[in-house]
Amino acid sequence: MQKQNTITTDRDAVVFGDSVRDVSKKTITVAVAGNPNSGKTTVFNALTGARQHVGNYPGVTVDKVEGICKYKGYEIELVDLPGTYSLTAFSIEEVVARNFIVDENPDVVVDIVDSSNLERNLYLATQLVEMNVPLVLAFNMTDIVERRGIVFDNAMLSKFFNASIVPIVGKKAKGLDKLLDAVIETAENPRPKDDHIVHYGDEVEEELTKIQNLLTGEHYLVEKYGSRWLALKLLEQDKDILDKGHKPEVIDAVAKSVRHLTKITGEDPEITVASQRYGFISGACEETVRGSVELRHSRSDLVDKVVLNRVLAIPIFAGLMYGVFKLTFTIGEPFMGIIEGFFGWLSTAITGLWPAGSESALKSLIVDGVIGGVGGVIVFVPNIMLLFLAIAILEDSGYMARAAFIMDRVMHKIGLHGKSFIPMLIGFGCSVPAIMGTRVLENRRSRLTTILVIPLMSCGARLPIYILLIPAFFAAKWHGLVMWSMYMIGIILAIVCAKLLRNTLFKGETLPFVMELPPFRVPTLRGVLTHMWQRSWMYLKKAGTILLGISIILWAATSYPKPAEEKLAGLSAEQAQTVQLRHSLAGRVGSVMEIAVKPLGFDYRIGTALIGALAAKEVFVAQMGIVYSLGDSEGSSQTLREKLANNYSPLQGFCIMLFCLISAPCMATLAICKRETGSWRWALFQFCGLTVLAYIVTLVVYQIGSLIIA
Amino acid sequence: MMVRTEKLSASLEDYLEAIFWIAQSKGAARAKDIAKRLCVKASSVTGALQSLGEKKYVNYAPYDVITLTSEGLEVAKKVVRRHQILKDFFVDVLGVDADIADEGACSLEHSIPRTVVERLVDFMEFMEVCPRGGKDWLKGFADQCNAQKKHNCEKCMDACLKKFRKEKQIMITEEKTTTVADLKPKQKGVVIKINRRGAIAKRLAEMGIGRGTLVEFERVAPLGDPIDIKVKGYHLSLRKSEAADIIISAK
């Protein structure tokens, strides 16, 4: 396990005094497993302190959160496994969680069990017991259970599950010391192994024995987890385990057993196995739980009555989404101003270090390249943090699942999942957090489709382009309509593309919508802030580093090669800027591009500006300003508009907007797309695909439009 | 025909029966086979065959194969059937061993009147279907005969009632079978089976929807598709297409 600058909390202070034990630290690795919504993260945060080290599991975009907790002379390394309902190969999370337990061999596994939803949560526990791992069951939310007058016979349950049981209240950090005691006890004196807690019925057991006999000594996993677990997984047709290089005899025997069992029971063995596990759990609960196991989340049900009401649900949903945008972009505005101001001051201050009028390359690199680039990323941080804050609140309260529930009908029609809706909606703000938001999608095909079409949602950075161009070409009464049509074109293209992708590249069954609607809970401040911070930091770190590099490259492309001094002589500063731009690499590429963009009604000036728009869409406006020798676009955009209106027809203006809407997403989007899909391939596919689409659509619109107008 | 049959002596009926069985297995009978089957001398067989030939029940010529005439076949079938009914009664109802039953059937089959045989058949059929009798009832009688112990009537009636109710229950549930997708809000049902294979079925099983699980319908999404159900104390949402494959008995 990697140990990086992990923040630690010290629980030693009180308890360490009475210890006669060797002071040399002993290390225990603990994997924290549990169902989604079981309060696992809250417990993890309470154990390790507010901050942890967030990394990635190799090869997948599942967060790996690690932390350290010192207790009674032990150094306990905790790893927060992704929340799962089961340990089969249904989703990436399940594979990651299981592989971590199988490959990393933690000393103890702590399963956080939501005791107000005991039966479903014990399903995962049953599977962990069967894996023969030293297990501690932390019964979370025992306060809710107590309030309902329900009593568990923990000693008996502990016998049934062959694991220690510790009642805790994660939100109030109650019972955590006892939990850690149990962890140490289990690590030091593990219980005798018993992987046979569930009897699967004579027919299944018979087949299990047959396969087990063949497995002895066959596989390295047998030694680690026992032949029973392996045989069970094989019988469950677990793809991951089937592919682990078994002898052909074993594979044959398994296939035969599966056929046999299917014939007897009329269902796949994995279904029989799952039912038997639940049978065992029901039996255990019947004997150990006094009061009804079927708990009613009455308060949550009342909230559902309102927010999922057939009439009110959609208005409430729309209102909440509006609130999220309002929060993100309105409250973010002043902070953006402050940050912009700060970077403005910084560039002035740094420029001041050189004599006035200096043409130092270093100064230009720092001021235009680095500060421009870093500033470009950081300026979005307030927005992104606010958006993540809103998402964290919606998620932790349980509303996010309801949003997917409400919108699934629409999304299913275009081959996507209800959970795709929120990321696509966020796309109207900024594609970067939107793409990061697709992590909620379990199915890779659905997720990739959503990521690829998100840039078609007209993001906030395209707004300055529309604001510049629409008044230049259209009469005031058409402004709203043209603006609306840009957004609609984006939405329609996204729907078409999603459908197309789902029917070609990402063919296959849509993700089943078997989704838990967790009870509504009041989110904890700490949980929400941790969530927000972890994601914002990821944005800053990953998107930031890549974007910084690309900004420097773009800076170089627009600055070099420099024209000869004599060419600039006698020109005004603005004219000089134009000459320099034309002479630079970007300007030259823009000129070459003219041939390509001519059929779209664009000239070299638009071509050059489009290259700048790669860094960020709104740069297009500034670039047009430079090209038209107007310097800053802000104060003098009226004249820029006039120049544009003189140079281009309304059709051309519309085509510019159309192209900016559809074409290659900005660098930050590409960087995040690479990060989230795990390969440059998809980022490049997105880049090229959208550019080609933009080219074709604009070409058709311009050519047909020209014919009609002429 | 009845008249004719009555004219046949018991032993001649035995001959016809023997020829019928031999003809069934070999196609035609020889005097030698008949003698062997009935354990009599070949000379007695010749006499009997001559007598049957005169009565036009068999086609008989010395040293040739023996076949039944259509009239002979008619009579033979009746005898065989009578024999079978009597044997079944002895074995199934009275619980007598098969060998003894065979012997008893042999001695009764010739003398028992047709009406009594027919009534015996009706009675056996009635006993097998009547809820107050049935196979269990007959088994109870057999047990009592073998063990020589007194029958526990209360226990027997309890079992009988239970069985009757269960059968009735099955009929009722069969009538009310529906799917989760067809339920109305607040309606409950018990899962009978899942008409689906593959990943979705597995997911449903893992989320706790299996045979015997109680499912409560909560609501439909505002746009009419996914539905919200309560299972094992928590809320789960499903698309209607998935819910339509969960067969339940509604309550």
| Residue A176 shares a structural domain with residue A223 | no
A257-265: average pLDDT = 84
**Same domain for A648 and A548:** yes
At A426-441, the pLDDT tens digits run 787 778 878 887 877 7
Shared domain for A14 and A162, answered yes or no, is yes
Residue type for A452, please?
A: L
- Do A58 and A173 lie in a common domain? yes
Comparison of pLDDT for B175 and B243, the residue scoring more: B243
Least CB–CB distance from B208: residue in A278, A406, A410:
A278
- Per-residue pLDDT reduced to its tens digit, B213-249: 889 998 999 888 899 999 888 899 999 988 888 888 8
pLDDT recorded at residue A293: 45
Asked if B221 lies within 8 A of A405 by C-beta distance, the reply is yes
pLDDT of residue A701 exceeding 90: yes
CB–CB of B234 and A401 under 8 A? no
pLDDT of residue B228: 92
Six-digit token pair at B133?
């009798």
Q: Is residue A435 part of a domain?
A: no
| Contact between chains at B233 and A509 (C-beta distance less than 8 A) | no
Chain A interface residues (partner B, CB cutoff 8 A) = 85-86, 88, 90, 117, 119-120, 123, 267-268, 270-271, 274-275, 278, 293-296, 304, 308-311, 313-314, 401, 405-410, 412, 418, 509, 512-519
Q: Is the CB of residue B228 less than 8 Å away from at least one CB of chain A?
A: yes
**Which of A289, A515, A516, A520 should one mutate to test binding to chain B, selecting the residue with the greatest count of B CBs within 10 A?**
A515
State yes or no: pLDDT of A555 exceeds 80: no
Instruction: Among A243, A266, A290, identify where a domain stops.
Output: A290
Which of A117, A309, A418 is closest, CB to CB, to B234? A117
Nearest CA in chain B to A35: B207
Segment (H or E) for A644? helix A637-647
Across the interface, whether the CB atoms of A512 and B236 are under 8 A apart is answered no
Find out whether A108 and A136 touch, Cβ atoms under 8 Å. yes
Angle at CA A257, nearest 5°, toward A254 and A258?
Answer: 85
Q: What is the pLDDT of residues B191-216, one digit of tens each?
A: 888 887 777 888 888 888 888 888 99
Q: Kindly state whether residue A442 falls inside one of the protein's structural domains.
A: no
- The Cα-based distances of B159 to B133, B137, B154, B155 in angstroms read 12, 11, 9, 6
CB-CB under 8 Å, A308 with B221: yes
Nearest CA distance, B52 vs chain A (angstrom): 57
Compute φ and ψ for A394, nearest 5 degrees.
Answer: -60, -40
Mean pLDDT over A295-303 rounds to 73
| HSE (side-chain half, CA atoms, 13 Å) at A474 | 18
Residues A240, A110, single domain; the answer is no
Q: Which residues of A touch B220 (CB under 8 A)?
A: 310
The domain boundary, picked from A188, A216, A251, lies at: A188
Give the 3-state secondary structure of residue B191.
strand
- pLDDT over 70 at A12, yes or no: no
Chain A closest CA to B247's CA: distance in Å?
A: 14
Chain B partners of A86 at a C-beta cutoff of 8 Å? 206
A671, A547 Cβ separation under 8 angstroms:
yes
pLDDT at A23: 46
Question: Of B224, B234, B242, which is closest to A514 when you measure between CB atoms?
Answer: B242
Q: To the nearest whole angstrom, how far is the Cα of A253 from the nearest Cα of chain B? A: 21
**Mean pLDDT computed over A389-402:** 85
- A179, A225: one domain: no
Q: Is the pLDDT of residue B176 over 90?
A: no
Q: Which of B206, B229, B230, B245 to mutate to test the interface with A (most CBs of A within 10 A)?
A: B206
Q: Which residues of A touch B200 (CB under 8 A)?
A: 512, 514
Confidence of residue A359 (pLDDT cuts 50, 70, 90): low
Supply the pLDDT for residue A56.
Answer: 62
Q: Which residues of B touch A412 (CB under 8 A)?
A: 225, 239
B207 touches chain A (CB under 8 A): yes
A206 and A261 fall within a common domain: yes
- Please tell me whether residue A665 adopts helix, strand or coil conformation: coil
Cβ within 8 Å, pair B238-A90: no
Number of other CB atoms surrounding residue B187 within 10 Å = 16
* Residue A224 placed within a domain: yes
CATH code, domain carrying A125? 3.40.50.300
**A642 and A548 share one domain:** yes
- Asked, for residue A332, whether it belongs to a domain, the answer is no
Q: Is the pLDDT of residue A18 over 60?
A: no
Query: Which residue has 């150094």 as its token pair?
Result: A75
Q: How many CA atoms lie within 13 A of A648 on its CB side?
A: 26
Minimum mean pLDDT among A301-305, B70-74, B147-151, B203-207: which range? B147-151
- Could A120 and B223 be called an inter-chain contact, meaning their C-beta atoms sit closer than 8 Å? no
Q: Is B205 on the interface with A (CB under 8 A)?
A: yes
Q: What is the dihedral of CA A269, A270, A275, A278, to 10 degrees?
A: 140
pLDDT at A2: 41
Say if the Cβ atoms of B221 and A515 lie within 8 Å.
Answer: no
Whether pLDDT at B48 is above 50: yes
The verdict on a CB contact (< 8 Å) between A514 and B208 is: no
Interface check B223 vs A, CB under 8 A: yes
Judged against a pLDDT cut of 50, whether residue A14 lies above it is answered with no
- Could you tell me where the DSSP H helices lie in chain B? 2-7, 10-26, 31-38, 42-54, 70-88, 98-108, 114-129, 134-147, 153-175, 199-206, 240-243
Quick check: is A236 in a domain?
A: yes
Task: Tell me if A308 and B238 make a contact (CB, 8 A cut-off).
Answer: no
pLDDT digits (tens, 9 = 90+) for A455-474: 998 877 787 788 778 888 88
Average pLDDT over residues B78-103: 83
Chains A–B, number of C-beta pairs less than 8 Å apart = 132
Torsion angle defined by CA atoms of residues A610, A654, A707 and A596, in that order, rounded to the nearest 10 degrees: 0
Q: For an interface test with B, which of A130, A239, A271, A282 has the most B Cβ atoms less than 10 Å from its Cβ? A: A271
B186 vs A: CB within 8 A: no
Model-level ipTM above the cut of 0.85: no
| Residue that terminates a domain, selected from A290, A311, A326 | A290
Residues of B whose CB is below 8 A from A280: none
Token pair listed for B157: 């009636």
Would A322 be classed as within a structural domain?
no
The CATH number of the domain holding residue A210 is 1.10.287.1770
Distance of CA A81 to the CA centre of its chain: 16
In terms of Cα–Cα distance, which of A137, A107, A118 is closest to A28?
Answer: A107
Task: Please give the DSSP secondary-structure letter assigned to residue A328.
Answer: I
Query: pLDDT tens digits for A101-115?
Result: 888 889 999 999 998
Interchain contact, B194 vs A408, CB within 8 Å: no
Mutation target to probe the A interface, by most A beta carbons within 10 A, among B234, B240, B242, B246 is B234
Per-residue model confidence (pLDDT) at position A629: 52
Both A176 and A264 in one domain: the answer is no
Report CB contact under 8 Å: B205, A519. Answer: no
- CB contact (8 A) between residue A513 and residue B239: yes
- Asked, for residue A214, whether it belongs to a domain, the answer is yes
pLDDT tens per residue across span B95-145: 788 888 888 888 787 777 878 887 887 887 777 667 666 666 777 777 777
The chain-wide mean pLDDT, for chain A, equals: 80
Instruction: Give the pLDDT confidence score for residue A10 in this predicted structure.
Output: 47
- Is there a contact between B201 and A275 if contact means CB atoms under 8 Å apart? no
For residue A455, is the peptide bond before it cis, meaning its omega torsion is within 30 degrees of 0?
A: no
Residues B217, A128 contacting (CB under 8 angstroms): no
Mean pLDDT, residues A221-228 taken together: 75
Residues A142 and A89 in one domain: yes
Higher pLDDT, A125 or A620: A125
Mean pLDDT of all residues belonging to chain B: 79
- B160 to chain A nearest CA, in Å? 29
Does B197 touch chain A if contact means CB atoms closer than 8 Å? yes
Predicted confidence band at B169 (pLDDT cuts at 50, 70, 90)? Answer: low
Of A274, A314, A516, the CB nearest to B235: A516
- Checking if the pLDDT of A192 tops 60, the result is yes
Q: Which of B224, B233, B237 sits opposite A513 (nearest CB)?
A: B237
Tokens of A642: 């006039």
Q: Is the domain of A106 the same as that of A154?
A: yes
pLDDT digits (tens, 9 = 90+) for A608-658: 778 777 777 777 776 676 666 544 434 444 567 787 888 888 899 999 999
B interface mutation test: which of A275, A286, A304 has the most B CBs within 10 A?
A275
Per the model's pLDDT, the better-predicted residue between A298 and B18 turns out to be B18
- Of the candidates B205, B233, B238, the beta carbon closest to that of A271 is on B205
CATH numbers and ranges of domains, chain B: 1-152 (1.10.10.10), 177-250 (2.30.30.90)
Number of compact structural domains in chain A: 3
Instruction: Give A338's Cβ-side CA count (13 Å radius).
Output: 8
User: Quick check: is A622 in a domain?
Assistant: yes
Interface probe, candidates B237, B238, B241, B242, chain A, greatest A C-beta count within 10 A:
B237
Residue A6: predicted pLDDT: 42
CB-closest option in B201, B224, B235 to A517? B235
- What distance in Å separates the CA atoms of residue A398 and residue B226, rounded to the nearest whole number? 17
Boundaries of domain holding A174? 8-188
B225–A90 CB contact, under 8 Å:
no
> Of A260-264, A509-513, A533-537, which has the strongest mean pLDDT?
A260-264
Each residue's pLDDT tens digit, A26-66: 889 999 999 988 888 888 888 887 556 666 666 555 677 88
Residues A588 and A682 both lie in one domain:
yes
Interface residue B184 vs chain A (CB under 8 A)? no
Q: Which residue has the higher pLDDT, A152 or A667?
A: A152
Percent residues over pLDDT 90 in chain B: 3
